[in-house]
Amino acid sequence: MNPYIEILRPGNALMGAIAIILVAIIDKSFTIPIILAMLAVFFETAAGNVINDYFDYNIDLINKPERPIPSGRISLKAGRNYGYLLFALGTICGFLISFLTNNWIPFGIVLIADVVLYLYASKLKSTPLLGNLTVGFMTGFGFVFGGFTINNPTIITTSIYLGFFAFVMTTARELIKDIEDMEGDKSEGAKTLPILYGEKITALLAVILIIIDCILCPLLYFNHIFSFYYLIVIAVAVVLFIYSAILIIRKQDRLTAGKASKYLKIGMLIAFVSFICGSF
């Protein structure tokens, strides 16, 4: 794969754009601002991935040496400038959305995303818990961005519900990923939660967040946001969430953390499908 495509982590960037697609499906609308919102989220997520790799160069030499920058396929300077370009493209999309809809909240959200993503990569990632919460916040923020792009009060409320769900589960997954990445983080002097307080406490916090989300899942049905079809599909995701929680609470080694993180990601994708099914 071309290193300039690989470094975007296109799968993650597209997953971010899915938040906009889901909100559009729920509203049963597909407009130019929605397309621009999808592009904005894709560019912003990709920019965050690239600039994160730029700042994580030394850590990735240990944890992920095959990535484009530590492997030497993209230079540090080229990676940094590429990240800046992607931030600019995302910001332009946000401006066009607000210009076309005469609603400047989406543009403001993109500007906030620019700042938060850069601060996360440069400073917040190595801050215990705050870095994890930042990633969760930005994931949930995508749904809220979609809601304000459509600018329908009902859809805005729904997008906040979905955003909170994504925020909690993503934060749990980020905590588990910190357990997986402990070796490289230690070498760089990073002060992540598992390094400061241990893998067991970090795993316990992640499990608590997973359980909270599992308990809250039915509310999207009982509050008449989604139909009964949502409950059927989300049940599959909940099984994966619980399985991930069992894995990580039993054992906190790198391999187990990687498995738990993978199952959480699959569960979140299934949860996204449940949102679509629940819209019918």
Q: Residue 18 pLDDT more than 70?
A: yes
pLDDT average, residue stretch 56-75: 82
Q: Residue 130 pLDDT more than 90?
A: no
**Residue 152: what pLDDT?**
87
Local structure of residue 73 (DSSP, 8 states)? S
| Whole-angstrom distance, CA of residue 74 vs CA of residue 83 | 12
| Whole-angstrom distance, CA of residue 88 vs CA of residue 44 | 9
Residue 263 — very low, low, confident or very high, per pLDDT cuts 50/70/90? Answer: very high
At CB < 8 A and 24+ separation, what contacts does 121-125 make? 121/48, 121/51, 121/52, 121/54, 121/55, 121/56, 122/51, 122/55, 125/52, 125/55, 125/56, 125/190
**Residue 195: what pLDDT?**
87
Which pLDDT tens digit goes with each residue over 186-210?
776 677 888 888 889 999 999 999 9
**Residue 189: what pLDDT?**
67
Q: Residue 20 pLDDT more than 70?
A: yes
Cα 103-106-107 angle, rounded to 5 deg: 95
Of the spans 80-94, 187-201, 252-266, which averages the highest pLDDT? 80-94
Residue by residue, DSSP assigns 149-184 as: HHT-HHHHHHHHHHHHHHHHHHHHHHHHHHHHTHHH
Considering the chain, what percentage of its residues have pLDDT values greater than 70? 99
pLDDT average, residue stretch 128-143: 88
What type of residue is 18?
I
| Whole-angstrom distance, CA of residue 11 vs CA of residue 46 | 10
**Residue 226: what pLDDT?**
87
Output the pTM of the full model.
Answer: 0.84
| Whole-angstrom distance, CA of residue 182 vs CA of residue 68 | 21
Domain ranges of the chain: 3-277
Which pLDDT tens digit goes with each residue over 153-182?
888 988 999 999 999 999 999 999 999 888
